[in-house]
């Protein structure tokens, strides 16, 4: 398929089930809400080494938050509910509780309840108190700038991780422009995050390695410096840079919509802007049950 000079491969991105939650972080002003959200979602690009994948979903106005203050919604994904609960407690305890003026609330109402403020309250050393509003329990923990307020629990739901696009371009400038445009388009949609720095990853990987201790290694078929050296390169001499975007979403439809938006942003840049091809990574259908076929996404369908 060729659109605006960009070849779209007849392939699919392969994604897998995850567990997810949304947290709403509020603060005295948007600056401190963002400080807490950035810290809480740091070192969370891949479950392979980070334990979870996390990112800022969107900025919230005072009319959208439980306490009427500026806020930010973050999404956190892990491979199990147990691991997700551990990540929530550590990240909120170290990055939100510590951040001036913040409070934290559940951003999803229905699902399996896991601790949010339930255990963090013990930081109050016996001075903490609870308040139930509308059947929901909140904990008030005294801190040096006043009180840290945390909802007792948040809900864990099923999610989808590993949706992806590969953007193959003429040079670095074109690849970055396409990736930035695609991420910006995806960020306009609800229920998704792109967990890598700036939403983009340059170190795409394949399963396996020549080194027995490594389960994954550089995706040599997409490395421009290896054209003519590897047995089967996916690149031509004209393709000098490849960027990947990984998407996690609350539902299969959310991931499909984000991938579709990314493709449309890339097509808009077109061959004239240096984008030559759009592809996706999969493992032959053996890794996960969610298969997002690129040729079906423009029509709004995922399989």
Q: Once rounded to an integer, what is the mean pLDDT over residues 151-175?
A: 98
Tell me: do 104 and 204 sit in the same domain: no
CB 165 within 8 A of CB 182: yes
Q: Which of 128, 157, 186 is the last residue of a domain?
A: 157
Tell me: do 67 and 146 sit in the same domain: yes
CATH classification of the domain holding 91: 3.30.70.520
CA angle 146, 148, 151 (to 5 degrees): 150
State whether the Cα torsion 47-52-58-59 is positive or negative.
negative
φ and ψ at residue 177, rounded to 5 degrees = -60, -45
pLDDT-based confidence at residue 301 (cuts at 50, 70, 90): very low
Among 103-107, 169-173, 176-180, 298-302, the least confident range: 298-302
Tell me: do 95 and 224 sit in the same domain: no
Which residue in 50, 46, 41, 40 sits closest to 16, CA to CA? 46
Q: Which of 157, 188, 215 is the last residue of a domain?
A: 157
What distances in angstroms separate CA 254 from CA 74, 78, 160, 190, one per listed residue? 15, 17, 9, 8
Tell me: do 140 and 107 sit in the same domain: yes
Q: Examine the pLDDT at 300 and tell me if it is beyond 60.
A: no
pLDDT-based confidence at residue 215 (cuts at 50, 70, 90): confident
Containing structural domain, residue 137? 20-157
Q: Examine the pLDDT at 299 and tell me if it is beyond 80.
A: no
Tell me: do 109 and 218 sit in the same domain: no
pLDDT-based confidence at residue 286 (cuts at 50, 70, 90): confident
Q: Examine the pLDDT at 133 and tell me if it is beyond 50.
A: yes
CB 87 within 8 A of CB 52: yes
Tell me: do 109 and 177 sit in the same domain: no
CB 257 within 8 A of CB 160: no
pLDDT in tens, 49-91: 999 999 999 999 999 999 999 999 999 999 999 999 999 999 9
pLDDT in tens, 256-279: 999 999 999 999 999 999 999 999
Tell me: do 62 and 135 sit in the same domain: yes
Tell me: do 206 and 85 sit in the same domain: no
pTM of the model: 0.95
Q: Once rounded to an integer, what is the mean pLDDT over residues 139-147?
A: 98
Domains: count for the chain: 2
């Amino acid at each position: 398929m060729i659109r605006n000079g960009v070849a779209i491969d007849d392939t699919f991105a392969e994604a897998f089930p995850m567990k997810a939650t949304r947290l709403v972080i509020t603060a005295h002003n948007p600056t401190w809400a963002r400080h807490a959200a950035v810290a809480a979602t740091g070192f969370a690009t891949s479950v392979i080494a980070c334990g979870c994948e996390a990112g800022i979903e969107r900025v919230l106005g005072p009319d959208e938050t439980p306490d009427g203050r500026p806020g930010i919604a973050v999404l956190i994904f892990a491979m199990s509910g147990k691991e997700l609960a551990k990540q929530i407690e550590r990240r909120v305890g170290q990055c939100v509780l510590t951040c001036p003026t913040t409070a934290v609330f559940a951003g999803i109402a229905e699902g399996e309840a896991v601790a949010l403020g339930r255990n963090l309250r013990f930081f109050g050393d016996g001075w903490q108190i609870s308040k139930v509003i509308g059947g929901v329990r909140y904990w008030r923990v005294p801190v040096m700038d006043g009180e840290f307020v945390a909802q007792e629990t948040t809900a864990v739901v099923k999610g989808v991780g590993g949706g992806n696009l590969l953007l193959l371009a003429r040079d670095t400038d074109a690849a970055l422009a396409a990736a930035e445009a695609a991420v910006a388009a995806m960020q306009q949609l609800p229920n998704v995050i792109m967990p890598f720095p700036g939403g983009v990853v340059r170190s795409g990987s394949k399963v396996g390695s020549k080194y027995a201790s490594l389960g994954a290694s550089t995706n040599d078929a997409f490395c421009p410096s290896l054209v003519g050296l590897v047995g089967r390169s996916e690149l031509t001499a004209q393709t000098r840079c490849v960027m990947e975007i990984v998407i996690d979403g609350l539902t299969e439809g959310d991931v499909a919509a984000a991938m579709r938006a990314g493709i449309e942003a890339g097509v808009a840049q077109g061959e004239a802007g240096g984008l030559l091809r759009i592809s996706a990574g999969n493992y032959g259908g053996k890794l996960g049950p969610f298969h997002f076929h690129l040729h079906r996404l423009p029509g709004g369908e995922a399989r």
